[in-house]
Chain A
C-alpha cells in the first residue's frame, strides 16, 4: 500500500535575494550562495584608500590575473562562516581526542631520544613555516577580490594557524611542557644551515606583492612539496623507526591539507581555464617558484630523508600542476 500525503502548498513570492536569483535563477538558494555571492562592496565608496590612492579599496588590479567574474571561484566545500566553523570543530574534536590519548598513555615516553631529536629538528620548526602561510593567506584575504575567494583565503589562514598550534603542542608533549623543544626548534629555524633556504624563501613570500602569485607560490608549490615531504615521506619514515604513535598527532594536518588541496585545486583550475593569458601567467609563476622551492628545500630534505625524497615531491607537484590544467602535458 502506498501512502499519499496531501498538503496545501503556499508559494513564496521570492525564493531568494534578487542578486542570487539573477545568477542562479528563481529557485531556493543554498546558505553558501546567499552568504557569498556579491557580498563584497563594489560601488559608492566615498574615498580612495589613503595608503594606496591610485587604487580603489577593493581593486581587481592588485593581481595581473584577470577574470570576467571573480565569483567564478566557487568553493567546492561550500564553506561560509557557519559551515566552516562546524566542520573544523568536528576535526578539532578528533584531534583533541588523539592528543588526550597520546598523553594519557604517556606515549611520549616510548619515543627514543634520537627520534625526539629528529622530530625537534625536522618537524617542530615547521610551525614557523605555518605562521608564514597564515600571513600569506591573510594577505590574499585582504587584497584579493570577491568574497568567494577572500573568505576561503581567510579560512585557510585560520587553518594554518591551527596547524602551527598543533605543531607547538607536539613540542610540548615531547619535552614535558618545559618548552625546551620549542626553543631548540626555533634555534634550528634561525641557525641550522638545512633550514636557512626555506626560511629565506618564506621571507621572500612575505614581501610578494601580487596576491595571486603569492597564493600560487604558497598553496600550489610550497604546500604540495612540504605536504609530500613531511606528511607522507617523513611520516612513513617515522612509522618504520618506532615513531608510529606520532601519527596520532599529525592526523589533523593531513586532513587539513587534503581539504585545502581540494579547494585550491579548483581555484587554479578555474583561473587557468579562464584565458590563455592566465594560464601562461600561472605557468610562469609555478616554474619560477618551483625552482626557488627546490633549491631552498634541497639541503633540508637531504638531511631529513636522503637524496631521492625531493625528487618524489617534485613529481607530486608536477602532477598537481598538470591536473589544474596549468601545464599542457
Chain B
C-alpha cells in the first residue's frame, strides 16, 4: 500500500492540528522540517474537527485547514466534521 501525506506550515495553529492528528492517527509519522511539518500514514489519515477544537480551545472550521496547508496526497473525503485522506484503489 502507498502512503497518504499532508504538509502543513510550521506555525502556532498547525501545532495543535498536528497534535490532534497524532491523537486520532497513532500510527502516523510526523516529520518536523524547516518551516514545514510533514505527516504520513499508511492508507489513511483523518483530521477530526472535535479533536482539533479541543486542542485549539476554540471553534474550528475544517476549511480553516487550508490556511496552513502546503500540500497533500490522497483522495480527499471531507464534510463539516472531518477530513479523511485515503487511496481509493
Contact = CB atoms under 8 A, between A and B. Distances in A.
B57 interface: yes
B58 A2 contact: no
A28 B35 CA distance: 13
A52 B36 CA distance: 52
A53 interface: no
A9 B37 CA distance: 12
A30 B54 CA distance: 15
Interface stretch (A72-80, A174-182, A202-210, A286-294): A72-80
B12 interface: yes
B15 interface: yes
Nearest to A28: B15
A262 B32 CA distance: 32
Interface residues of B, number: 14
Contacts of A31: 12
Nearest to B71: A3
A5 B36 contact: yes
Contacts of A10: 34
Interface in B14-70: 15-16, 32-34, 36, 54, 56-58
A7 interface: yes
B2 to A, nearest CB: 10
Given A7-B33, A28-B15, A31-B12, A78 B73 contact: no
Interface of B: 7, 12, 15-16, 32-34, 36, 54, 56-58, 71, 73
Interface of A: 2-3, 5, 7, 9-10, 28, 30-31, 75-78, 262
23 contacts: A3-B71, A5-B7, A5-B33, A5-B36, A7-B33, A7-B34, A7-B36, A9-B32, A9-B33, A10-B34, A28-B15, A28-B32, A30-B12, A30-B15, A30-B16, A31-B12, A75-B57, A76-B57, A77-B57, A77-B58, A78-B56, A78-B57, A262-B57
The 10 closest A-B pairs by CB, nearest first: A76-B57, A77-B57, A78-B57, A7-B33, A7-B34, A9-B33, A9-B34, A2-B73, A30-B15, A31-B12
